[in-house]
Structure formats: structure tokens, C-alpha cells
Chains A and B, each alone.
Chain A
Amino acid sequence: MKNSCIFLLAIFLLMQCTSKDTTVYTPVPYDLEIPRLFADKLIAPVIPANNPLTEEGVALGKKLFFDKKLSGNNTQSCATCHSPQKSFTNNRQFSEGIQGILGTRNSMPLFNLAWNFDERFAWDGKELSLERQALEPVKNPIEMHANWETVAEKLQASPEYPDLFLQAFGSSEIDSVLITRALAQFERTLISGNSKFDRYLNGETTLTPQESAGFNVFMDEAKGDCFHCHGSDNNPLWTDNKFHNNGLDSNFSDLGLGAVTGDTNDNGKFRSPSLRNLRFTAPYMHDGRFATLDEVIQHYSEGLQPSATIDPLMKKVNQGGVGLSLQEKANLKAFLLSLSDPDFINNPAFRE
């Protein structure tokens, strides 16, 4: 007993010595700047223990995000469909892959992803973490249509990447695991928290009478009743990140969550998107069916379609909705636009 203790102690001391001598590069922890409003109102963001943010990892992730080498024919990067100027989406109804084939879903804006606490990504929640999500577009035949081994080889053969991976992860052996970890790190730094409404909540500006009347429509259970799913002044994410059927269709060509869970009670349910940055992200909904916010508001006001899975929060469905007045619609729109954050799309840290 005594002997083995001494032995263990010796090993321990030895380890201490060796670690001092070697010159393994340790990446610098990345200081994620969390908006005060988020820190005050929300629980802490999700950063997985096996992929902490580092300066080197985030910088590498950014480089990869904009690099067309990740696609089969070097014509597409993540940014092709997730452009910083568009709040990391694009303005097409459906995104086009490298062979010009259209997908069936509207590209999603990317921000505040570390606050998606259930970590169910994509419109239907089929991707279970950012790391795992990033595997998908690269190999998707109607998106970047590449093969992960080839992508890794391309990067490995480049003059700069092996070193960058070494600095970020302590290994210059590039593979899909490290590539997706870097991408996820960069994505977690995409924080949008400086809209006009944020500044209003921080006491830095005032709303116009129309914007504040629109906020009331949003919060009024008898009018918009949007807050039950889309956040509020107390939930600055402007989404619940949960799955609902908001009454777009009576028959579903895309089952959404239902196709993922196999439960018919989930048919037609999609994840509530954040209402931040709508000014930059048209068209709207999972299939980009609405070109304008006016059409979205029209839908909630008088376009609701009945179905077995429509959310019970959708009221007066047999009349198509609660029927907002023209004034209420205009006010609601003005409020929604106040949630857009020009600083986010102009942030040089997020540009190529």
C-alpha cells in the first residue's frame, strides 16, 4: 500500500516536470462577450466541454466557414447560403447546391446559436448539435456535395491549414471532427444583441409611438399573442426554440418535426425562428413562402389553416385568425423591424 502510494506520487511529480519541458502550443481561451441583457435575463449559453472556444479555434472556424474548398467543386462555402450581410442567410426561397439543384427549405440565419438550449438545429430539429450539424451540408448532394475525406485532404495539402489546426487543436492531422469543431466554435461567436429594441431595453434609446404600439400588439393575448412562442422583453432571443405548427397548411408536403420523430402528432411542426434581423432575412418560413413581413402578418391575422396539429395558441382558426386592423398590422411590422441589428451584419469580426 505504502509503496504504491509513493509510486503514484512519483509518477505525479514526473508528469509535472515533463509538462513544463514540452512546448505544446496551448490555444488562448476565447472571451465570449455576452450582451448584458442576455446575461441578466437568460441562463448561460451552451458551450460543450469537449469543444471550448479558443481564439485559434474561432479564427480557424471563420476561415473554414468562408472557404469554398469545403465543397465538391470549390464553388460553395457555408457563406454562400449563410451570408453575413444577410444575417447569415440568403434571400433565396430555396438554396441552390453546387450543381444548381434546389433544396426544399429556406436557408436559416445564424446567430445566438449557443442559446438554443435543446441543441436541436435545422427547421425540423433533426441536427442534434452544431458540431454534428456542420457535417451535413458538406456531404449533402444538393448542397456542397463533397466527401469529407477529400475535403480533409484538400485542406491537409494546403500550405496554411495544418499549422492552424495544430495551433487550435494540438494536431495537424485534419479530419471532419476537427473541421466541424472549428466551424461550431465560430458559429457560437455569432451573437446578435444590439437591435434598436435592445438599446431601448438598455435605456439607451426610445421607441417611436408606432413601434411601442406594435410591441403591445405582439404582447396582447387578444391580438398578436406572439410572445408565447417568440420571446419578449424578458426573453431577448425572440424565440422559444420549440416546435409548433403555426397554421401554414392543412395538408403538409413537408412533415417537419413529424418526419424526424415519426410521430404524426408532430406533423407540420417547425422550430420557431427568432424574430431578430427580419429586415435582412426575407423570404420567411421554412419554405420561404412569404416574400414580405406584410404577408407574414396577413397570415397570422387572417390566413390560418386548420389541421389536427395546429398549435392551440392560434386563435379563431375557423375565421383564419383574430383579424388585426390595418393600423395594428402596420404597428406590429414597425415593432418587428426594431428587432433588427445592423451592427450584427456589419461586424468586421464576422466578415471574410
Chain B
Amino acid sequence: MRVLLFLLSGLLTWSACSSPEKVQSASVAVRFSHNWENTPVSSTDFNTIKFTNENGEMLSIERLRYLVSNVILTSANNETYELSPYQLVNLGEEEVTIESNEVPIGDYKLSFVFGFNDAENIDGSYPDLNTASFNVPGMLGGGYHFMQFDGKYVDQNLAPAGFNYHVIRAVNIENPNNLVFQDTSIKVSLGVVTITATTDIEIKMNIAEWFKNPNTWDLNTLNTVLMPNFDAQILMHQNGKSVFSLGAVHQ
């Protein structure tokens, strides 16, 4: 016991003396916010048909969850700090924050991947994502959803109808015995952020962009069963590139 106390106090004094010499690490927090053309969107906005997309359809959001991976800070001399290997963001549930205390103070480029790139999109191998039922069926090559965005839109008969804007790795299933894939994960670079002692970074998703840029999305033609639709996945991939941007950075 006495030996233990001795060791413990030794450790304490040692760490107290040595820490000023180390490079000072910051505490970094990254969180995701959501908006529709700058109007904030949270789960309290769900279930009401109150958004209008670029093509003029009125729509509601009932579920919106997506996957980001390789959330990385890269320094000017190309040192990288991975803040998170992957993270499921679910608007309908508690806000998630990615945190790290390992990054030295300085300027960094912030980047992440929307979805999983091919190498990491390994079927069934992430228990938390399996538990969240985020998988893609084996008949579509397996792996994981990049986004599950479900809601209702007002169709051409002015009746509400469901849409399932599900983003996955594009797959051509014409020949079920020879699936052809295209990696449609999106590398998102958000520019340079300055990391000081405590830094809180906001990543913004403008949900309207999924329907807008460069492809004006027509929910009357592309509403459900989009997972096996190779061309639809390419359009989503193109629109997804302008969805994210850097928000407020608080020091």
C-alpha cells in the first residue's frame, strides 16, 4: 500500500513537471448541424410537409441519418490526426459530437468522407452499424448505407407519397452474378481551421442541396427503390458534393 502511494505521488509530480515541455494539445469537438437553405432543421421539424425543393415539390422529413468516416485534420506539413474513423449521425436522435484531445494547436485542413470508401465498406463488419440496421443487402453488394433519408412529398395528384432517398455505393445489378460497382463515397474538404486550446467546429449540411445542385431532383420520377438504381446513385453522388460546408468555429 505504502509503495503504491509512493509510486502514485511520484507519477503525479513527474507528470506535473513534464507537461509544460510537451507540445500543447487542444481539445477539439466537431458537431453536425442541419439546415434547409439556412433555416435550421432539427427533429422537431420532422413529419410536417413544410419544405419545398428546387423542383417545387413540397416534402416532409421523417428520418434522416447518414454516415461520415475518416474525419481528419491535416497539418501544413501533412501530419494527420484522425478525429473519428466513422460516425453515424442521426437527426432523429441525440446530437453526436466527435471529440479529441490529441491534436496539437495549429492550422489544419479539415476533411471527411461521406459514407465509406470501397476499402472500408466491408459487409457486416461494424457491429454498431449492424445494430442500427444500416446495412445494404448482399444482392446489392453489401456494405452500408451512406444515408437513409425518408419522408413524404406531395405527388402530382396532390396526395402525400413516401420517398426513400437512400444513398449507397452505386451498383449495376443487370447481371446478378457480376455486380458492377462504382465508389460513390464523397471526399469532403472543408478548408483550413485554426485549432486553439479548445475549439468547437460545426459542419453544416444543407439538406436542400440533395435535390438541387447540379441535378434538379424530380421526386415524381425518383422517389423509392433508388438503392438498386445505378443512375440515381450517380446523381445523388453529384448532388452530395455541395451539401456540406464549414460552419462556425468557436475558440
Contact = CB atoms under 8 A, between A and B. Distances in A.
B162 A221 contact: no
A250 interface: no
B112 interface: no
A43 B138 CA distance: 21
B108 interface: no
B162 A313 contact: yes
Interface residues of A, number: 32
Contact of A312 (B135, B139, B151): B151
Interface in A113-132: 117
B127 interface: yes
A221 B227 contact: yes
How would you classify the secondary structure of chain A's contact residues: helix, strand, loop or mixed? loop
A91 B59 CA distance: 42
Nearest to A9: B1
Interface residues of B, number: 32
A178 B132 CA distance: 33
B164 A233 contact: no
Contacts of B127: 40-43
Contacts of A315: 162, 224-225
B228 interface: yes
B224 A220 contact: no
Contacts of A84: none
B131 interface: yes
Interface string B220-251: 00001101100000000000000000000000
Contacts of B161: 317-318
B54 to A, nearest CB: 20
Contacts of B138: 219, 233
A339 interface: no
A271 to B, nearest CB: 14
Q: Please classify the interface of chain B as helix (H, G, I), strand (E, B), loop, or mixed, using the class held by over half of its residues.
A: mixed
Contacts of A40: 124, 127
Nearest to B129: A234
A47 to B, nearest CB: 16
Contacts of B34: none
A265 B151 contact: no
Interface centre among A40, A228, A311 (most CB of B within 10 A): A228
Contact of B159 (A42, A232, A318): A318
A314 interface: yes
A255 to B, nearest CB: 15
A310 to B, nearest CB: 8
Contacts of A302: none
Contacts of A249: none
A231 B135 CA distance: 9
A235 B228 contact: no
Contacts of A197: none
A234 B138 CA distance: 10
Across the A-B interface, give the 4 residue pairs with the lowest CB-CB distance, nearest first. A312-B162, A219-B137, A265-B47, A312-B150
Interface of B: 1, 46-47, 62-63, 123-124, 127-128, 130-133, 135, 137-139, 148, 150-152, 159-164, 166, 224-225, 227-228
Interface of A: 9, 12, 40-43, 117, 216, 219-222, 227-229, 231-235, 240, 265, 308-315, 317-318
26 contacts: A40-B124, A42-B127, A42-B131, A43-B127, A220-B137, A220-B139, A221-B137, A227-B133, A227-B135, A228-B133, A229-B133, A232-B135, A232-B137, A234-B130, A235-B133, A240-B132, A265-B46, A308-B160, A310-B162, A311-B62, A312-B152, A312-B162, A312-B164, A317-B162, A318-B159, A318-B161
Given A43-B127, A318-B161, 16 more contacts: A40-B127, A41-B131, A42-B130, A43-B131, A221-B164, A227-B135, A231-B133, A233-B138, A308-B160, A311-B162, A312-B151, A312-B152, A315-B162, A315-B224, A315-B225, A317-B162
